Amino acid sequence: MSATDVNPFGLTKINRDKLPKGGNLCEYCTAKCCKYFALPIDIPETFEELEYIRWYLLHDRASVFKEDDDWYLLVHTTCEHLLPDNRCGIYETRPKICRDYTTDNCEYDDSWCYDFYLETADQVWEYTEAVLQPKGESIRSRKPNPLAIV
pLDDT for residue 104 is more than 60? yes
Least confident piece of the model among 14-18, 68-72, 84-88, 93-97: 14-18
pLDDT for residue 68 is more than 80? yes
pLDDT for residue 133 is more than 50? yes
Sort residue 40 into left (φ over 0), alpha (ψ -120 to 50) or beta. beta
Q: Identify the band that residue 10 occupies on the pLDDT scale cut at 50, 70 and 90.
A: low
Q: Identify the band that residue 135 occupies on the pLDDT scale cut at 50, 70 and 90.
A: low
State how beta strands 70-75 and 62-67 pair.
antiparallel
Q: For the chain, give the percent of residues with pLDDT over 70.
A: 85
**CA torsion through residues 130, 135, 141, 143, sign:** positive
* Alpha carbon 111 to chain centroid, angstroms: 11
Mean pLDDT, the chain, rounded, equals 85
**What was the pLDDT predicted at 3?**
45
Q: Is this prediction's pTM over 0.75? A: no
Rounded to the nearest 10°, the torsion over CA 24, 93, 105, 69 is -160
